[in-house]
């Protein structure tokens, strides 16, 4: 693994850093308080090519490798995890999955719009009664007529990032009688389909500016051409998306931890107690050191995943390791930074409280920390504990 960034990767990172400083950082507190990111940010992300990274240029993408994608995701996570989530889901979970599993017509219909920001995607897997047990979905799609007929979908999804903004849902539903994951298929469902209702979820602990929703499907009709990948292979589609998605979450967590380190270092150098800056006190230095080590370790684990993907090597277990460590590290880093700030860290005039709130969900979605441990344990032992 080469740890030296190319000129192109360095330029992409700088572009993302400049974008965060100009378009995100000045608005973070207001967006968090309002529980609403300015939707205009989507077109700006598309104009810079951030919504098309790793997608082939022939479909409107901006190309590039997965390390460049991680660098952008990290910078967005450093700025505002609510914005990072827009990219991680619309590009990382939806557009990349269409590029990998879609037929030519599906790619031509959706990828140019998703990569430009003209359309947004969301990932419809989690249900009110089904979180970690993703193979036990209750949402069902049945044929209307014989083979080749439309599908009629009924069910509900929850905690759907981009849910109220999205133009298309990559939706997973049970299509066959087989138990567990074997009877699940994937569909591309336009959000303006009759019978599809979206309800925004408010009052979240973190990611408050992100559009998170519950989706209710009541007799939603889609043509047979809406199925993504083969019938009955929806679980494979979902797991392939989540494996790469875990790398994206890990990169965003590196950004949170880096932001925590930056904020804590700045404050520790300015705040004086006992006649000197608190950076000169041993136990404050311990807090800063712990954050710095977590940042570096999480970043290297994440970059390893990107390197493996770009070289066509197996990466699923490594993605779980990166997601597990980086998400837990982001919580530790933000918590340690808040400790450096003391009481000032507890009010939203300062950034570390929001970092802690945003970090906490990273250990839950796209596979909880416990699920990551089971994935890693299965790889180590050859025995599934699911």
Query: Which tokens belong to 72?
Result: 């952008």
Per-residue pLDDT of the chain (386 residues; tens, 9 = 90+): 677 899 999 999 999 999 999 999 999 999 999 999 999 999 999 999 999 999 999 999 999 999 999 999 999 999 999 999 999 999 999 999 999 999 999 999 999 999 999 999 999 999 999 888 878 899 999 999 777 789 999 999 999 999 999 999 999 999 988 877 789 999 999 999 999 999 999 999 999 999 999 999 999 999 999 999 999 999 999 999 999 999 999 999 999 999 999 999 999 999 999 999 999 999 999 999 999 999 999 999 999 999 999 999 999 999 999 999 999 999 999 999 999 999 999 999 999 999 999 999 999 999 999 999 999 999 999 999 98
Place of tokens 């909880």: 368
Residue in 249, 52, 225, 77 with CA at minimum distance from that of residue 151: 225
Place of tokens 């136990």: 283
The torsion angle over the Cα atoms of residues 33, 38, 41 and 42, rounded to 10 degrees, is 110
Is the separation of the CB atoms in 171 and 187 below 8 Å?
yes
Which CATH fold topology does 123-232 show? Answer: Butyryl-CoA Dehydrogenase, subunit A; domain 2 (2.40.110)
Using the Cα atoms of residue 165, residue 170, residue 175 and residue 179 in order, give the sign of their dihedral.
negative
Tokens for 321? Answer: 């390791």
CA angle 58, 240, 194 (to 5 degrees): 75
Q: Which two tokens stand for residue 191?
A: 């959000």
Q: Selecting from 3.40.50.2300, 1.20.140.10, 3.90.550.10, 3.50.30.50, what CATH number does the domain 236-381 have? A: 1.20.140.10
pLDDT at 182 (0 to 100): 86
Fold type of domain 7-120: Butyryl-Coa Dehydrogenase, subunit A; domain 1 (1.10.540)
Domain regions of the chain by residue span: 7-120, 123-232, 236-381
- How many Å is the maximal CA-CA distance in the chain? 81
The first and second tokens of residue 242, run together, are 């989540």
Q: Which residues contact 57 (CB under 8 A, 6 or more apart)?
A: 63
Burial class (CB in 10 A: 0-12, 13-18, 19+), 76: buried
Neighbours of 214 (CB within 10 A): 19
CA distance linking residue 288 with residue 131, whole number of Å: 35
Q: Alpha carbon of 157 to those of 90, 154, 189, 218, 365: distances in Å?
A: 17, 10, 13, 12, 14
CA 352, 306, 211: angle at the middle one, nearest 5? 45
Residue matched to tokens 């340690």: 336
The pTM (predicted TM-score) of the whole model is 0.95
How high is the pLDDT of residue 3? 76
What angle in degrees, to the nearest 10, is found between the helix axes of 316-341 and 352-360?
Answer: 150
**In angstroms, rounded to a whole number, what is the distance separating the alpha carbons of residues 337 and 352?**
6
Q: Looking at the DSSP assignment, which residues form a beta bridge with residue 200?
A: 213
Catalytic residue annotation:
366
DSSP state of 58: G
The C-alpha torsion from 287 through 292 and 297 to 298, rounded to 10°, is: 90
């Amino acid at each position: 693994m080469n740890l030296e960034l190319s000129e192109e990767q360095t330029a992409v990172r700088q572009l993302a850093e400049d974008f965060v400083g100009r378009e995100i950082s000045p608005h973070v507190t207001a967006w968090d308080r309002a529980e609403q990111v300015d939707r205009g940010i989507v077109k700006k992300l598309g104009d810079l090519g951030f919504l098309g990274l790793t997608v082939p240029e022939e479909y409107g993408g901006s190309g590039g490798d997965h390390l460049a994608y991680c660098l952008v995701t990290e910078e967005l996570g450093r700025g505002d995890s609510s914005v990072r989530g827009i990219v991680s889901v619309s590009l990382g979970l939806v557009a990349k999955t269409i590029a990998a599993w879609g037929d030519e017509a599906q790619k031509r219909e959706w990828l140019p719009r998703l990569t430009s920001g003209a359309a947004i995607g969301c990932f419809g897997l989690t249900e009110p009664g089904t979180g970690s047990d993703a193979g036990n979905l209750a949402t069902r799609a049945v044929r209307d007529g014989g083979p080749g007929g439309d599908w009629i979908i009924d069910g509900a999804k929850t905690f759907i990032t981009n849910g109220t903004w999205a133009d298309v849902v990559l939706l997973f539903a049970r299509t066959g009688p087989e138990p567990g994951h074997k009877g699940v298929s994937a569909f591309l469902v336009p959000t303006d389909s009759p019978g599809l209702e979206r309800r925004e979820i408010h009052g979240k602990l973190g990611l408050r500016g992100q559009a998170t929703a519950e989706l209710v499907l009541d007799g939603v009709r889609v043509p047979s051409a809406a199925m993504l990948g083969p019938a009955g292979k929806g679980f494979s589609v979902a797991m392939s998306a989540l494996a790469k998605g875990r790398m994206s979450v890990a990169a965003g967590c590196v950004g949170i931890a880096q932001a925590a380190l930056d904020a804590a270092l700045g404050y520790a150098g300015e705040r004086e107690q006992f006649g000197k800056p608190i950076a000169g006190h041993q136990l404050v230095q311990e807090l800063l050191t712990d954050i710095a080590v977590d940042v570096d370790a999480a970043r290297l684990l994440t970059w390893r995943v990107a390197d493996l993907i770009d070289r066509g090597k197996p990466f699923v277990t490594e993605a779980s390791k990166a997601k597990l460590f980086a998400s837990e590290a982001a919580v530790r880093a933000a918590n340690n930074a808040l400790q450096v700030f003391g009481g000032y860290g507890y009010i939203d005039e300062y950034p570390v409280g929001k970092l802690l709130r945003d970090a906490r969900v990273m250990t839950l979605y796209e596979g909880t920390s416990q699920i990551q441990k089971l994935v890693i344990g299965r790889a180590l032992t050859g025995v599934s504990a699911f």
